[in-house]
Amino acid sequence: MGRRPTGSARGCLARGGQKGGFKAAFEAEIVAEIEALVGTGTVEDWDFEAIETAARRKAMRVAARAVERLINADTSDYAGATLPCPCRQPARYVGRHDKTFGSVLGPLTLSRAYYHCEPCEKGFCPRDHALGLQDGSLSPGVLRMVGRVGAMVSFEEGHELLAELAGVDVPTKHVERAAEALGREVAEDERRVVEPPAADEPLAPTLYLGMDGTGVPVRKEELVGRTGKQPDGSAKTREVKLVTVWSAEGRDKEGTPVRDEGSISYSAAIESAAQKDTDEVPSEFAVRVEREAARRGFERAARRAVLGDGAKWIWNIASEHFPDAIQIVDRFHAKQHLSDVAKAIYGAGSDLSEQWARERHDELVSCNRNTLTIAGRVHHTRACHRKLGDQSRRSCCRPRNARRWRPCGGGGRRLRRCL
């Protein structure tokens, strides 16, 4: 519960024998509730789903009452007539105040010592801080659940999942407020806390850093005044940019590098990567990339690679902040660029276009950059040649002293899951 009560404040539970009696009484109460629920009749007559759901609900209710009694029997949170307030003025003890909290066990009505500070006109309960309840009406366990569902589904779906899977009734609006509050805490923590690996902590020989951006739907009020890709120039989405760092020392059955389990970290936000040459400070997203790279010790790795889809802003950040890192276009987008070149040369949908693209894709997989570049020179379309040479150089580049190194450029699907 955050602290151990002292003295005889726990009343009847202060002696071990009575604690054992409480345990037996608690178990007996649960058994009695379930027996009353099941009633008479054979097992074959049961609606088992209804019984197991109701039994869980009954057991949780009994557990909630037991926890509630235990906490309320402990009055050690009374610490005298006054306590220091966070404003450094004395707060006066007013009495014990009840408040109902949503917990994993169900509603808990707790009686807590309440102190009020007249100078700042605020009050507080020491027990709320001890139990992690100071920021609202949800317990730490429920907050963790809310954070998980709030990050994965809509707030309404989160409310439904919590009720169906955990038997916890958290109104949709509470899910929204709690999830957004947790998000603000996480965002502040990401900006404020940058702890690089310890100097003696071993790092993988090669670290990969990937960057990408994708559009996400947002509320209409967040799109006012923003241009987009709609026919009328309006926008339906905003771009979330993401940076991820991982290692890939393992190999699959074919000898292809695969990402090491537990090595992947992410950081993402709706931030701009735009930066002028005259700007004295990096863009918001570039600073985020720097923070994540620092946390992972990216600059300390013996070999560093930056992966992207070919967007200029990615290579601008890579060249500015990691000039010695190898730049790699992921295989999916590299093949896409080659297909675009094939269409520009032979026309979209033609047999020659598809054949030429397939041949170039095979050369890309075998990392035959010279053949790729020669294929581009055969055709005198300058833009095609420039695009072909640039993307193939990034897709196939590797350090001269690492002939056996196979970069984790990945198949398109593997990289896109990462980015």
Assess whether pLDDT exceeds 70 at residue 174: yes
Assess whether pLDDT exceeds 70 at residue 387: no
Q: What percent of the chain has pLDDT over 90?
A: 47
Closest of 291, 287, 288, 325 to residue 308, by C-alpha: 325
Q: Where are the domains of the chain?
A: 13-73, 82-187, 205-308+315-320, 330-419
pLDDT at site 318: 95
pLDDT at site 141: 94
Per DSSP bridges, beta strands 303-308 and 206-217 are parallel
Q: What percent of the chain has pLDDT over 70?
A: 79
Span 338-355, pLDDT tens digits: 888 888 888 888 888 889
Span 23-32, pLDDT tens digits: 776 677 777 7
Residue 260: pLDDT band by 50, 70, 90 thresholds? very high
- Cα–Cα dist 263/202, whole Å: 13
More reliable by pLDDT, 131 or 38: 131
pLDDT at site 379: 56
Do 209 and 306 touch, CB atoms closer than 8 A? yes
Do 307 and 210 touch, CB atoms closer than 8 A? yes
Q: What mean pLDDT comes out for the span 264-270? A: 93
Tokens 């805490």 belong to 185
More reliable by pLDDT, 254 or 142: 142
Q: How many residues does the chain have?
A: 419
Chain-wide mean pLDDT for the chain? 81
Span 285-342, pLDDT tens digits: 999 999 999 999 999 999 999 999 989 999 999 999 999 999 998 888 888 888 888 8
pLDDT at site 269: 92
> Does the predicted model carry a pTM greater than 0.85?
no
Residue 102: pLDDT band by 50, 70, 90 thresholds? very high
Q: What mean pLDDT comes out for the span 225-237? A: 85
Span 48-90, pLDDT tens digits: 787 788 888 888 888 899 899 999 999 999 999 999 998 999 9
Assess whether pLDDT exceeds 90 at residue 118: yes
pLDDT at site 397: 45
pLDDT at site 325: 94
Span 147-164, pLDDT tens digits: 999 889 999 999 999 999
